[in-house]
Amino acid sequence: MEFLLQPLTLLTFFPLVGILVLFFIPSERKDVLRWTALIVSLITFGLSIWVLTMFNASNPDLQLLAQYDWIQVAGWNIQYYLAVDGLSILLVLLTTFLTPISILSTWTAVEERVKDFMLFFLLLEIGMLGVFLAQDLFLFYIFWEFTLVPMYFLIGIWGGPRRIYAAIKFFLYTMAGSILMLLAILWLGIYGGTFSVPDLIAQGNIPANIQWWLFLAFTAAFAIKVPMWPLHSWLPDAHVEAPTAGSVILAGVMLKLGTYGFLRFNIPLFPEAAVRAAPWIALFATIGIIYGAAVSYAQADVKKLVAYSSVSHLGFVMLGLFALNSQGMQGAILQMINHGLSTGALFLLVGMIYEQTHTRELKVYGGLWKVTPIFGTIMLIVALSSMGLPGLNGFVGEFAILLGAFGSRAIGNAWFAAISALGVIMAAVYILYMFQKMFLGPQGEVVDEVKNHGHGLRDLNWREIAIMVPILILIFWIGLYPKPFFDLMAPAVDQLVASISSVAMR
Amino acid sequence: MTQADFSTILPLTLLTVWACVLLLVDLFIPNTHKGITALLAALGLALTLGFTLAQIGVQQTGLNGMIMLDGFSTFVSALLLVSGLLGVALAYGYVRRMGIERGEYYTLLLFSVTGMMLMAQAADLIVVFLALELLSFPLYVLAAFARPKIESEEAGLKYFLLGAFSTGFVVYGTALVFGATGSTNLAAIVAFASPGTSNLLLLSIGAALILVGFGFKVAAVPFHMWTPDVYQGAPSAVTAFMSSGAKIAGFAALLRVFATAFPSIAVDMTGILWALAALTMILGNVIAIAQTNIKRLLAYSSIAHAGYILMAFVPYGNPDVAPVSIAAGLFYLVAYALTNFGAWGVVIALEKGTGKGLELNDYAGLARKHPALAAAMTVFMLSLIGLPPTLGLVGKIYLFRAVIDGGFYGLAVIGVLTSLVSAYYYLRVVVIMYMRDGEPETEHESFLDLTTMATAIATVVISLVPQFLFAWASSAVLKLF
């Protein structure tokens, strides 16, 4: 039972404590339920900070190992193996950071079946943390598939009008990819005699042609999750129909499960295939960047606009990852965090206004700045961060990615970076377009309409400001002084890049 | 009859005698207290289970090599006895509510379990035939147990006619195998077949006919036509028992017969088994999408799962992979049986005496009204899809490992893609329970609730600590060879 006391076990499974407590709280006591879930998620965040203090950033290897035999019979060699390194520490923190924020955002938005909502939310957190920490492919797969279930319920029960369609589409799309990955995982397990990822990487003698097939199978799972163009069509439905907190977690964390998968599994396990695939991935990433931006601009629904912008932003992440050099990959990891913060914040803000107006049609908004100045200011900062204004977080990540992609030997063609850079400009177009439609110009009918009902559009209240402030702090912090964040990941990324070049770029 | 003979058939004898005595004792139990019969039947099953478990590790043949006791048979018998217990628990309140509470129900169930256990122990094709008849006849009667309900009578008759037809295939196949090798004893068949002295073509045809016969029993495509009608028409408690028990027994016999007696014709058989497995998975899952009745949905799901278990047979001719694949088959049978009983338990909880409550739409709003029941059903649906944290996932992973180990990548891909298809219709049940409003009425019976909750918890917990089951399943197989 020693494994229960390992820091990473405690971190991953602490939300389970909350779930057990929630079971004993009657469903009518909604505020008690909310506070319990919030406090549990805050303690989980505290645990992740505790893990961060124990984390040695200069060590590029896996740390804080919780490694125990799990299923060691009948020819199986499966371990309970959690560990953290520079590639995953920031994503773990992002998960524990966004969860309490999302829970806080549901305070007035979720009135129905609060208990179930909180149960699924905490289950989801366990699943996501497990994905980022698992170092055994079998364990990883269990967490990976498990994340689908609570998210499916979150969309399906508390979502918008087309929620059931969106939930099933989300589920089936994601599962379609991951079951192919399951076959590849089993093949690896039989071939290598172990499911432990570090051991499999160390063995590293998979024939090149088989590497290619395995790479494709893993890619099927992760590319759908990211989602890469042209596998993105589940995303707008799921994002738009999901409740605000669900969208925040979906965009903020769950999409990163895909990009993280590429980083943790595809690239180190199949380096030769990764190098071979890099130009193709870059091609699809570039198309995604441009396509996502163009389609965003065409949306009439704010939430859909933000959803499509994810396709574009995640294209940058993929481009950076498959630059397969230090700059690109570090930029990509940072951009995962940035996207989680700024897109998460955009969904939160859209959710806050939707709670009052019950519409997301761009054309009915306008002139909100005068009515709700705090809301407008925060929206402006987040929007600028999302489009990559220097001094805010988005710029740092995108700059590093473009720099990496430009000089990447694996991609081998600077045009991808050049075209992708256009995506930054296009981001400015659709983001500013949205901002202008909502906040500037003549007052839209939505303002009047609310007035007609007797109560005007109110500005953000203290709870809503409290939700946004931590995100804003991070947006400025990463934008102005990103060094501590890069320091956390740099040794691990450098080691990964070195190992790829020693194997695959001879 | 030596002592070894006796100990080989000890659990079988105990259960047979118990069933016969119960038949008499039941005459003296008043109609208002037929629950006592059920409890006595359960006691018999539990005692037999105790003896069976005590025989773990014993390996011997008895009655001149007709009957075998080994790890494989012990594993399957234990699983069958647990299925029997679950079958009794599900029936306990159900038969009373449906007005079909008669003592024979439990006696018939015991006889059927005996036949299934005999099937697992059979070391001779004649005994296989005997066991097949012994397990089938009580099931024919049980399927029609809700007479004079027309659906139930139809189910019984249909099951009987097609069952008798398929038994004919087994008999004819046995005759051909005998013609080819001069023996019906499994060990002797191997001895004759391997040096190439026998007529392999005749042997192959015989084996294929036996496969057809058992294909009916386990509901493999294209021999599945009876399944939805019989599963729908038979009383739900019977269907629950039949869909697990008959499948376990049928697969046990197939595994035993093919792995022991027919490895020499694996080249011919592999292709056929491959096609059967693929067809069964595809057809079962695709047709299930269109179902709106929960019993029919579970019937097609049971067909589909026969396909997954059939995958375990495909590499049986490869001596390196065969032990893994048979262990995987056994493990999956456990996962399927537990999940299946649980799911049928929920069906029974919602079924009304009038035969209402069986449409998918009757499940609307279940999550609000009976959260525990809905959560249990969700666990079963996830397990049938093969998602964590359930036994179904672990079982499927085991199966796919065997198939990949054997090098049948195409079949593995078909397997996972059909699992994806299955997610659609299993999730629909979840959608209706959680995302539609309604006022479902359920029956609360202590044994029923206990069964549903226990199987749900077992499905989750065993998936997290599957070591002992893995070890047991794989040791059960090593002794087969």
pLDDT exceeds 60 at position A32: yes
CA distance B277 to B275: 5
How confident is the model over A229-249, as pLDDT tens digits? 888 889 988 888 888 888 999
Q: What average pLDDT does range A330-342 have in this prediction?
A: 92
Whether the CB-CB separation of A112 and A240 falls below 8 Å is answered with no
Q: Alpha carbon of A247 to those of A241, A420, B17, B207: distances in Å?
A: 8, 26, 63, 57
Helices A271-297 and A302-321, axial angle in degrees (round to 10): 160
Whether the CB-CB separation of B57 and B100 falls below 8 Å is answered with no
The beta-carbon neighbor of A171 closest among B324, B423, B467 is B423
pLDDT exceeds 90 at position A93: yes
DSSP string, A193-255: S--BHHHHHHH----HHHHHHHHHHHHHHHHHHTTPTTS-THHHHHHHHS-HHHHHHIIIIIH
- Look at A426-435, A482-491, B83-92, B436-445 and tell me which has the smallest mean pLDDT: B436-445
Residue B50 identity (one-letter amino acid): G
How confident is the model over B309-329, as pLDDT tens digits? 999 888 887 888 888 888 899
Q: Measure in Å the smallest separation between the Cα of A498 and chain B Cα atoms.
A: 33
CA distance B112 to A159: 49
Cβ of B474 within 8 Å of Cβ of A145? The answer is: no
Which pLDDT does position B71 carry in this prediction? 87
- Look up residue B129 and give its two tokens: 């035939």
Whether the CB-CB separation of B38 and B88 falls below 8 Å is answered with yes
Whether the CB-CB separation of A468 and A348 falls below 8 Å is answered with yes
Check: complex ipTM more than 0.95:
no
Q: Measure in Å the smallest separation between the Cα of A305 and chain B Cα atoms.
A: 27
Closest CA to A72 of B131, B445, B24, B470: B470
* DSSP letter assigned to residue A6: S
CB of B413 within 8 Å of a chain A CB? The answer is yes
Q: What average pLDDT does range A463-468 have in this prediction?
A: 89
How confident is the model over B77-119, as pLDDT tens digits? 999 999 999 999 999 989 888 888 888 999 999 999 999 999 9
Q: Alpha carbon of B265 to those of A47, A299, A345, B183: distances in Å?
A: 60, 63, 65, 17
Cβ of A72 within 8 Å of Cβ of B419? The answer is: no
DSSP string, B403-446: HHHTT-HHHHHHHHHHHHHHHHHHHHHHHHHHHS---------H
The beta-carbon neighbor of A168 closest among B404, B417, B427 is B427
The beta-carbon neighbor of B467 closest among A71, A149, A183 is A71
Q: Please, is B258 exposed, middle or buried when counting C-beta atoms within 10 Å of its C-beta (0-12, 13-18, 19+)?
A: buried
pLDDT exceeds 70 at position A108: yes
Distance, CA of A288 to chain centre: 17
Cβ of A145 within 8 Å of Cβ of B400? The answer is: no
How confident is the model over A442-455, as pLDDT tens digits? 877 777 766 656 56
CA distance A175 to B427: 12
- Look up residue B79 and give its two tokens: 């699983």
Best interface-test mutation with A: which of B390, B396, B417, B435 has the largest number of A CBs within 10 A? B435
Which pLDDT does position B62 carry in this prediction? 82
How confident is the model over B270-316, as pLDDT tens digits? 888 999 999 999 999 999 999 999 999 999 999 999 999 999 888 88
Cβ of A183 within 8 Å of Cβ of B434? The answer is: no
Cβ of A179 within 8 Å of Cβ of B420? The answer is: yes
DSSP string, A338-387: HHHHHHHHHHHHHHHHHHHH---BGGG---HHHH-HHHHHHHHHHHHHHH
Helices A393-406 and A414-439, axial angle in degrees (round to 10): 160
The beta-carbon neighbor of A175 closest among B409, B423, B434 is B423
pLDDT exceeds 90 at position B460: yes
End-to-end C-alpha distance for chain A, whole angstroms:
46
Cβ of A146 within 8 Å of Cβ of B389? The answer is: yes
Helix (H, G, I), strand (E, B) or coil at B61: strand
Q: Which residues contact A192 (CB under 8 A, 6 or more apart)?
A: A199, A200, A203
Q: A156 to chain B: which residues are within 8 Å by CB?
A: 431, 434-435
**Count of C-beta atoms within a 10 Å radius of residue B150:** 10
CA distance B306 to B300: 10
Which pLDDT does position A505 carry in this prediction? 58
Q: What average pLDDT does range B232-240 have in this prediction?
A: 93
pLDDT winner (highest mean) among A59-68, A69-78, B159-168: B159-168
Q: What average pLDDT does range A282-289 have in this prediction?
A: 92
pLDDT band per the 50, 70, 90 thresholds, residue A1:
low
Best interface-test mutation with B: which of A183, A213, A216, A234 has the largest number of B CBs within 10 A? A183
CA distance B142 to B136: 10
pLDDT exceeds 60 at position B49: yes
The beta-carbon neighbor of A73 closest among B424, B431, B470 is B470
CB of B404 within 8 Å of a chain A CB? The answer is yes
Helix (H, G, I), strand (E, B) or coil at A84: strand
Which pLDDT does position B196 carry in this prediction? 58
* Mean of pLDDT over chain A: 88
CA distance A298 to B464: 48
Which residue does chain A place closest to B430, by CA atoms? Answer: A153
CB of B397 within 8 Å of a chain A CB? The answer is yes
Secondary structure element (H or E) that encloses residue B60, with its range: strand B60-62
Q: What average pLDDT does range A167-189 have in this prediction?
A: 91
Q: What average pLDDT does range A338-358 have in this prediction?
A: 89
Cβ of A74 within 8 Å of Cβ of B471? The answer is: yes
Whether the CB-CB separation of B95 and B37 falls below 8 Å is answered with no
Closest CA to B440 of B370, B342, B355: B370
Secondary structure element (H or E) that encloses residue A64, with its range: strand A63-71
User: Is the model more confident about B236 or about B353?
Assistant: B236
Secondary structure element (H or E) that encloses residue A146, with its range: helix A137-146
Instruction: Give one word for A62, left, alpha or beta, with left for phi > 0 and alpha for psi -120 to 50.
Output: beta
- Look up residue A126 and give its two tokens: 């366990």
How confident is the model over B136-154, as pLDDT tens digits? 999 999 999 988 888 899 9
Q: Alpha carbon of A180 to those of A79, A224, B304, B410: distances in Å?
A: 22, 12, 19, 12
Q: Measure in Å the smallest separation between the Cα of A168 and chain B Cα atoms.
A: 7
Helix ranges (DSSP H) in B194-321: 200-218, 226-233, 236-256, 266-288, 294-311
Q: Measure in Å the smallest separation between the Cα of A136 and chain B Cα atoms.
A: 15
Question: β-strands B67-69, B60-62: how paired?
Answer: antiparallel
Which pLDDT does position B458 carry in this prediction? 94
Q: Which residues contact B390 (CB under 8 A, 6 or more apart)?
A: B339, B379, B382, B383, B459, B460, B463
